[in-house]
Structure 1
Amino acid sequence: MNKIISPIRWTIHDLDALPENEGIRREIIDGELFVTRAPHWKHQDIIANIITELKIWSKNHSGKAFSSPGIIRSEEDNVIPDLVWVSNERLTGIADEAGHFTGFPELVVEVLSAGERNIYRDKQAKLKLYSQGEAQEYWIVDRFSKQLEVYRQQKGKLVLVEILTEADSLTSPLFANFSLTISQIFA
C-alpha cells in the first residue's frame, strides 16, 4: 500500500516558533515557506529609486508608497513585497492595528533576486497570489536584464501587458501624469 505524504503547510503561527533573525525574510505563499537573506545593495537601490518617484508623485495625489510592508492575507499567505503603492481610501480598509496589511494595495513591486527559487517565488507564486487579491498592477523588476515587466488586472487575473527596457518609459493608468524612465530605476 502506497502512503501519500502531504507536504507541510506553513501558517503565520508557525513563524512565531522560529528564532528571530534580522537578516532573514520569511514569507508564506499558499502554505509554502520561502526563506531569503537580505538582498543585494543593488536590489535595495532599485527599490529606493522607484519609491522616491512614487513618493514625489503621491505628494499631489491621494496615496502612499511603502517599502517592505507585511501583508497577512490569510494564515497561509504572509508576504513582504519589496514595494507597494496604496490609495488613502484603500489603506484605511486594509491596514490592521499592528500596521500590517490584510489585503493588497493597488500596486505591488518585486525586484528579482538571483536564484531559481527566488525567481519562482516572484514570477509564479506571488503572481498567482497577487492575481487572487485586489492588486491592480504588479511590476517585476529584473536587475540582471534591466527590464521591467508590467502586469495589469484583466478579468480577475494579473496579465503581462508589457516588458520595458532601459530605453522605455513607464506609465500607468493608476498614476495620472506619472512617467518614469526605466534607465532611472537602474541608475
Structure 2
Amino acid sequence: MSVVTQEVPCLSLGPNSSGACLTPAEFDAAEFEEGWRYELIHGVLVVSPPPLRKERDPNEELGRWLRNYQEFHPQGGALDATFPEETVVTPTDRRRADRVIYAGLGRDPEEGEVPAVVIEFVSAGKRNLIRDYEEKRDEYLAAGVREYWVIDRFDRCLTVYRPQASGSSRQVVREGEVYTTPLLPGFELRLDGLLQRADRW
C-alpha cells in the first residue's frame, strides 16, 4: 500500500496577510516579506510592526551582556547561543520572542529547538500585559522552556516563571536588584541597566 504525502504550498506572506488561517506546516513553509513580525496564534496569522527603540535598545544591551558572559566568564560555556527576534515553536503555535537563550546543550541549537530561556519585553497596553504575563507564559512553559523572563519597564520589574508539577512558580526581581540563574552560572542580570536603556526613549 502506497502512502500519499500532500505537499505543503509555499505561501508568500506580508502585512496584508494578517488574519489568514494557516496550519503550522503552512507557516513553516512560507516566505515572509521582510520588516514585519509574523506569528501563528491559534491558527491565525498575526503580523505586527517591528519593536520600537525602547524595546530594541534594552534587548540589544542584554544580548551584549550575554555574549560578554559567554566569551569572558570562566563558566560562560554554559551559554550555547542567544538570538533576538526568534520564533519559538510550540505544538500548535509559532510565537515571535524578543530574545531566546540556549543553555546547557554543549552544541549549537537546531532549528526549531525549544530554548532554555525565553525573554519578552512588555509593550504598552492591557492586551499586551495579558499576552506576555499569561498567554505566552502558559505556551512557553508547556513547550518545555525552563525559564520565562518578562521584563516590564512600566512596573519596573523582571518576573521569572519556571514550570512546576502544578503549574508554574513565579519570582519577581525589582528595580535595583540582580537576578541570577543556575542555567547560566555566574551571569548577573542587573535590572537597572536594562530599565535605564528603555528610559532613554
The two structures have a TM-score, normalised by structure 2, of 0.73
Helix, strand or coil: the match of 2:34?
coil
**Residues 1:89 and 2:105 aligned together:** yes
* 1:176 aligned residue: 185
**Residues 1:69 and 2:79 aligned together:** no
Change (3 A) 1:122 1:90: farther
1:154 to 160, 164, 175: 164
On the 8 A contact 1:68/1:80 being kept in 2, the answer is yes
The superposition leaves residues 100-153 of structure 1 with CA deviations (integer Å, 9 ceiling, x where unpaired) of x2x321111001112233222222221111111221100001122221111122
**Residues 1:41 and 2:53 aligned together:** yes
State the alpha-carbon separation in 2 of the partners of residues 32 and 116 from structure 1: 21
Unaligned runs of 5+ in 2: 1-19, 197-201
The CA RMSD measured in Å over matched residues stands at: 2.7
State the alpha-carbon separation in 1 of the partners of residues 44 and 25 from structure 2: 13
**Residues 1:79 and 2:95 aligned together:** yes
Helix, strand or coil: the match of 1:176?
coil
Change (3 A) 1:142 1:127: same
Helix, strand or coil: the match of 1:66?
strand
Helix, strand or coil: the match of 1:70?
strand
Q: Report the Cα offset of residue 19 of structure 1.
A: 8.8
Tell me the number of residue pairs that the alignment of Structure 1 and Structure 2 aligns.
172
* 2:150 aligned residue: 140
Change (3 A) 1:177 1:110: same
On the 8 A contact 2:116/2:147 being kept in 1, the answer is yes
On the 8 A contact 1:91/1:105 being kept in 2, the answer is no
On the 8 A contact 1:138/1:158 being kept in 2, the answer is no
The one-letter code matched in structure 1 to 2:82 is: A
Change (3 A) 1:35 1:90: farther
State the alpha-carbon separation in 2 of the partners of residues 172 and 30 from structure 1: 32
Larger gyration radius, structure 1 or structure 2: 2
Instruction: Determine what percentage of the aligned residue pairs are the same residue.
Output: 28
The one-letter code matched in structure 2 to 1:133 is: A
Matches of residues 92-131 of structure 1 in structure 2 within 5 Å?
95-96=110-111, 101=112, 103-131=113-141
On the 8 A contact 1:132/1:156 being kept in 2, the answer is no
Helix, strand or coil: the match of 2:58?
helix
On the 8 A contact 1:166/1:182 being kept in 2, the answer is yes
Change (3 A) 1:13 1:64: closer
